[in-house]
């Protein structure tokens, strides 16, 4: 990405995700986000929630150490505003009320636990800012580690958000702890279809010719398939239902996920990707999606857009708690 023009105000978005913690320092210039700095750490917050529903001590220590590092990184930039947001893992962790004050002390800013609808709205704004057709009515899917958001809007206006308490990591842990078999995948897919059955009303009578995938899960699956996540333009190749079924064959029936797990020595990561593929296939089927296009934008880009919008008094970006 091009270096940011520091005459433009810089904003910081910090995401405490269920998989990774991420930091963007960026400006919004000429309708696009220009990144000055970015950091990412795989904290695995969602995987650190034990059977008692609370975060284990090692995960808490890693999380707080990361936030202290982020605080040092933020101090190296003159930012006009900072927004720190947390997603699904901290919506459900039983000890979130105890963790949040420690997290805020570590990073030096308030930590806002987003509800599913607000998370979906911000994801949509980030994706909309990366797409060329400002008037297109569009469907945006965000399959995260801990939750899934489905958003419909036109231009920058959000019409509807649905949030589901299932994501790639949760689906992976539920169905693939003992390995990734065809039978386990079919069970994961059936469960996902059941979860998203009510979302079919979004498809209407004709479904969607295309939809946009915002999360790292979508981009990672495209990379496994040999594709590339782009900016959502017509030059960016999407995936049809047939493409996703072919990916299922190569990764599940032909053992691709298990080879990935063996090579990377990260069986949990392979299980998470298999969970994400099951959720994506279910969404494509239930919503009648013809083509799924990955976009390199999402929650953090939406936060940056919202912070920039407040500075210019844009009504689409009201002040949030």
pLDDT at residue 236, rounded to an integer: 53
**Residue 239: what pLDDT?**
82
Cα–Cα distance between 139 and 131 in angstroms, integer?
12
Confidence of residue 109 (pLDDT cuts 50, 70, 90): very high
CA distance 4 to 33: 9
* Partners of 164 in beta bridges: 148
Q: What is the pLDDT of residues 117-173, one digit of tens each?
A: 999 999 999 999 999 877 889 999 999 999 999 999 999 899 999 999 999 999 999
Instruction: Give 248-275 as a DSSP string.
Output: HIIIIIT-HHHHHHHHHT-HHHHHHHHH
Identify which of 21-35, 111-125, 220-234, 269-283 has the greatest average pLDDT.
111-125
**Residue 260 pLDDT more than 60?**
yes
In DSSP notation, 81-141 reads EEEEEE-HHHHH-TTHHHHHHHHHHHHTS-EEE--HHHHHHHHHHHHHHH-S-TT-EEEEE
Query: Which residue in 108, 77, 111, 83 sits closest to 9, CA to CA?
Result: 77
Q: What is the mean pLDDT of residues 62-88?
A: 96
Question: From residue 76, how far is each of 15, 73, 105 by CA, in Å?
Answer: 18, 5, 18
pLDDT at 225: 67
What's the rounded Cα separation, in Å, for the pair 35 and 29? 10
Query: What average pLDDT is seen over the chain?
Result: 87
The closest of 271, 320, 265 to 121, measured between CA atoms, is 320
Is residue 203 pLDDT above 80, yes or no?
Answer: no
């Amino acid at each position: 990405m091009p270096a940011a023009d520091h005459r433009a105000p810089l904003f910081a978005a910090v995401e405490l995700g269920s998989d990774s913690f991420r930091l963007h320092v960026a400006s919004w210039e000429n309708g696009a986000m220009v990144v000055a700095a970015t950091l990412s750490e795989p904290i695995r917050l969602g995987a650190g929630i034990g059977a008692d529903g609370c975060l284990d001590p090692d995960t808490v220590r890693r999380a707080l150490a990361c936030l202290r590092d982020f605080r040092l990184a933020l101090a190296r930039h003159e930012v006009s505003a900072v927004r720190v947001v947390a997603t699904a893992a901290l919506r459900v962790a039983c000890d979130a009320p105890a963790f949040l004050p420690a997290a805020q002390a570590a990073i030096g800013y308030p930590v806002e636990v987003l509800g599913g609808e607000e998370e979906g709205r911000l994801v949509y704004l980030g994706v909309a800012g990366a797409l060329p057709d400002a008037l297109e009515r569009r469907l945006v899917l965000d399959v995260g580690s801990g939750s899934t958001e489905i958003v419909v809007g036109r231009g920058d206006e959000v019409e509807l958000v649905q949030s589901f308490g299932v994501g790639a990591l949760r689906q992976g842990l539920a169905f693939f702890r003992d390995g990734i078999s065809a039978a386990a995948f079919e069970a994961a897919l059936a469960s996902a279809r059941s979860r998203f059955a009510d979302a079919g009303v979004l498809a209407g009578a004709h479904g969607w010719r295309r939809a946009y995938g915002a999360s790292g899960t979508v981009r990672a699956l495209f990379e496994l398939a040999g594709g590339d996540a782009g900016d959502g333009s017509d030059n960016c190749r999407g995936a049809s239902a047939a493409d996703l079924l072919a990916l299922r064959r190569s990764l599940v029936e032909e053992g691709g996920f298990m080879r990935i797990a063996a090579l990377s020595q990260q069986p949990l990561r392979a299980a998470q990707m298999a969970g994400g593929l099951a959720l994506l296939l279910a969404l494509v089927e239930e919503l009648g999606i013809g083509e799924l296009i990955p976009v390199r934008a999402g929650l953090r880009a939406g936060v940056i857009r919202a912070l920039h919008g407040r500075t210019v008094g844009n009504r689409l970006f009201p002040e949030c708690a």
